[in-house]
Amino acid sequence: MENWDKMALLVLIVLGATLGWLASILARTEAPGDILRQVAFGLLVSVVAGEIANDGTMIGSLSFLSLGVALAATGVTLVLYHALVRRKAKA
């Protein structure tokens, strides 16, 4: 794996973890387990979506398209996660 490939993967990891952390702040999550779950969930979705949008490889670095897809997919996934969690809590 070349240095650019590692940097592209690192960018996706940081993006996903940051979005998961921000989602926990916006949702006012206070339980440490829930915060870590959201960070891990954001990280996983970001890496998978970025890899898929970049044709399954990080060779040639990260494109803006795959970065945008990772951002959008992580955001949508975390919003849906919080909608389901709140729905279960009300039931």
The gap between the terminal CA atoms of the chain, to the nearest Å, is 48
Q: How confident is the model at residue 2 (pLDDT cuts 50, 70, 90)?
A: low
Residue 18 or 56, more confident:
18
pLDDT at 73 over 70: yes
pLDDT at 1 over 60: no
- CA-CA distance, 26 to 45, in Å (whole number)? 19
Summarize the confidence of residues 79-89 as an average pLDDT: 82
- What does the pLDDT read at residue 59? 60
pLDDT at 31 over 70: yes
- What does the pLDDT read at residue 17? 92
